[in-house]
């Protein structure tokens, strides 16, 4: 088996958990054969948004066919 990893950043106005879920949900709609997701970093954008924007950087690993 061979796997490829891509990095995504999920965002949410609610929480870090929602940001992770948003990244995973979006990945599952466009990437096949996802085997695992690693949560790498968390951040909060405060400068250019009216409320806090929670961000989660995730690495998605999927099998290459």
- How do residues 7-40 score in pLDDT, each as one tens digit? 999 999 999 999 999 999 999 999 999 999 999 9
Cα-Cα-Cα-Cα torsion 9, 27, 60, 55, nearest 10 degrees, comes to 20
Where do the domains of the chain lie?
Answer: 3-63
Q: Give CA–CA dist 61/40, Å, rounded.
A: 13
- pTM for this entry: 0.86
For residue 50, the model assigns a pLDDT of 82
For residue 33, the model assigns a pLDDT of 94
Q: Which CATH architecture has domain 3-63?
A: 2-Layer Sandwich (3.30)
Structure token digits, residue 4:
């490829």
**How far, in Å, are 7, 14, 18, 33 from residue 61 at the CA level?**
9, 26, 20, 9
């Amino acid at each position: 088996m061979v796997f490829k990893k891509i990095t995504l950043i999920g965002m949410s106005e609610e929480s870090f958990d929602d940001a992770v879920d948003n990244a995973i949900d979006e990945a599952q709609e466009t990437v096949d054969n996802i085997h695992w997701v690693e949560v790498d970093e968390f951040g909060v954008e405060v400068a250019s948004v009216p409320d806090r924007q929670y961000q989660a950087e995730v690495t998605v690993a999927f099998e290459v066919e």
